[in-house]
Amino acid sequence: MKQNTTYKQTELGLIPDDWEVKKLGECSSISGDYGINAPAVKFSEDLPTYLRITDIDDDGNYSKVNKVSVKDDNSENFILENQDIVFARTGATVGKTYLHDKKENGDLVFAGFLIRFRTNRDVLLPYYLKLYSTTDKYWNWVSVFSMRSGQPGINSTEYSNLKIPLPPLPEQKKIADCLSTWDSAIEKQSQLINALTQRKKALMQQLLTGKKRLPGFSGEWKEVKLGSICENFQNGNAFSAKDYKKTGIPIVTMGNINLGGYFYFSESKSNFWIEDKSLERYEIKKGDLIIAMTDVTPEKNLIGLTSIIDIDRIFYLNQRVGHIILKPKLADTDFIFYLSQNSYWRNQCKAFATLGVQANLGTNDIKNINIKLPPIEEQTAIAEILATADRELQLQKEKLAQLQQQKKGLMQVLLTGKKRLIN
């Protein structure tokens, strides 16, 4: 570690005396190329693969989920070289970056809403630039520059004028080596989470359909309608938005059910109501099962999804969210929760729902959902296995968050020169 570092004041704040402030364009051999303006076509191995803004995920990685191709005579002029970096230039994703890994992702043709830079590696390492593009300082710059005209956007000239606090090349390499260690750990942890997720999906497919039986259980599963195992079904209340309060009893809406089916609650993002005894029928508490009766998402993947309240407090239930009260001798709450994530349940809900911009399920639609039900003891055993898988997943996600936070903390001190890695 370098000791006794002295600092100088610059337009980017205090940096070490031996660092410089340089513009991105000054550090690049290719400075601000716009991508090709051509329509995407169905993916084909015989055509170049197209890189659009939507193909770059929130972590700056190339997503291969919805690969497309491009068919244009000029496409070869827009093929990324290894370690080229592209910046999103417009819309809600402005500022997003992708550093090309040719070995991992092959040849990619970059689209017109992306701007390419190729750094001079004797001055600026591509990975160092990528790291800088994830810092708060960079995103503050994006926020300022992108909104000057009202429509979010940063052009090639503006990106070329991006100022970067630049250490000497040997220090850039040490910083890159240090942080790449965290990247590797984060990638391995992400892969573990993906593997556990796939394992859980396989377990659900086997256990929730009866294809795989647990030791000690036999006999046929019964096909019943959801309504036959319900003690009651309670729709929510139509609370008036103009009368919402800042404190009181929080109101649960469909926004509290995430697409994984898990209950999401944020004190700061919730609306509240004064406690009212006349609204007791709409009270829900920890352990209660709720269901989304309305869905405005494009793919309609929320409609009919259930969630279990996992916070120990009282809530009020808003309209278009239902409260399913099960007969305890017939149905296990956790089992029904997992069952609602199964494709058989999901497809029925989409079929029942009135679709359009807004999908809606009625009370009778929900009661008419067909399910296959094992005895209560087997339901409980299956639910516990899946809950164990969930707990393991959550533990690994927390470890991933810790690694990401550690990397962020290191970046804060290494990319500002507060901590030095050279002698």
pLDDT of residue 267: 92
Could you tell me the CATH number of the domain that includes residue 238? 3.90.220.20
Query: Which of 160, 143, 161, 162 shows the shortest CA–CA distance to 152?
Result: 143
- Does residue 147 belong to any structural domain of this protein? yes
Domain that holds residue 304: 222-373
pLDDT at 1: 47
Residue 352: which of 339, 336, 369 has the closest Cα? 369
Token pair, residue 357, equals: 């911009």
What are 66-107's pLDDT values in tens digits?
A: 899 999 999 999 999 999 999 999 888 899 999 999 999 999
Q: Do 266 and 193 fall into the same domain?
A: no
pLDDT tens figures, 209-250: 999 999 999 888 999 999 999 999 999 999 999 999 999 999
Extract long-range pairs of 309-313: CB within 8 Å, 24+ residues apart. Answer: 309/252, 309/263, 309/284, 309/285, 310/262, 310/263, 310/286, 311/263, 311/265, 311/286, 312/285, 312/286, 313/250, 313/285, 313/286
pLDDT of 124 higher than 60? yes
Q: Are residues 178 and 230 in the same domain?
A: no
Same domain, 269 and 354: yes
Other Cβ atoms closer than 10 A to 223: 9
Residue 32 resides in a domain: yes
pLDDT for res 148? 65
User: Could you write out the three-class secondary structure of 263-297?
Assistant: ECCCHHHCCEECCCHHHHHHEECCCCEEEECEECC
Q: How many domains does the chain have?
A: 3
In a domain, 214, yes or no: no
Tokens linked to 81: 């070289």
Q: Residue 161: left if φ>0, alpha if ψ -120 to 50, beta else—which one?
A: alpha
User: pLDDT value at position 120?
Assistant: 97
Same domain, 305 and 200: no
CATH number at residue 414: 1.10.287.1120
Is residue 120 situated within a structural domain? yes
Asked if residue 5 belongs to a domain, the reply is no
β-strand pairing of 108-110 with 49-51: parallel
pLDDT, tens digit (0-9, with 9 covering 90-100), for 383-408: 999 999 999 999 999 999 999 999 99
Query: pLDDT tens across 4-63, in order?
Result: 789 999 999 999 999 999 999 999 999 899 999 999 999 999 999 999 999 998 889 998
The verdict on residue 10 lying in a domain is no
Burial class (CB in 10 A: 0-12, 13-18, 19+), 293: buried
The pLDDT of residue 250 is 97
Query: How far apart (Å, rounded) are the C-alpha atoms in residues 317 and 319?
Result: 7
Name the H helices within 106-245.
Answer: 126-132, 136-146, 156-160, 169-207
Shared-domain flag, residues 306 and 363: yes
Question: Do the strands 13-16 and 7-10 form a parallel or antiparallel pair, or are they unpaired?
Answer: antiparallel
93/120 same-domain check: yes
Q: What is the dihedral of CA 57, 61, 64, 65, to 10 degrees?
A: -30
- Is residue 39 located within the same domain as residue 93? yes
- The reply to whether 301 and 367 lie within a common domain is yes
> How far is residue 91's CA from residue 111's CA, in Å, rounded to a whole number?
14
Contacts of 133 (CB under 8 A, 6+ apart): 60, 85, 87, 95, 97
Q: Are residues 60 and 118 in the same domain?
A: yes
Write down the residue that tokens 């890994």 correspond to: 101
153 and 172 share one domain:
no
Instruction: Point out the least confidently predicted range of 111-115, 253-257, 326-330, 350-354.
Output: 350-354
Shared-domain flag, residues 124 and 24:
yes
Whether residue 284 is predicted with pLDDT greater than 90 in this model: the reply is yes
Helix (H) or strand (E) holding 410: helix 376-414
What confidence tens digit (pLDDT) does each residue in 296-338 have?
877 788 999 999 999 999 999 999 999 999 999 999 999 999 9
Region 164-171: mean pLDDT is: 96
Q: For residue 125, is pLDDT > 90? A: yes
Does a structural domain hold residue 325?
yes
Which of the four pLDDT bands, split at 50, 70 and 90, describes residue 3?
Answer: low
Which range among 2-11, 188-197, 206-215 shows the weakest confidence by mean pLDDT?
2-11
Q: What is the pLDDT of residue 422?
A: 80
Is 31 inside a domain boundary? yes
Query: 2 pLDDT exceeds 80?
Result: no
Q: pLDDT tens for residues 335-371?
A: 999 999 988 898 999 899 877 778 899 999 999 999 9
User: 328 and 233 share a domain?
Assistant: yes
Q: How far apart are CA 77 and CA 73, in angstroms?
A: 9
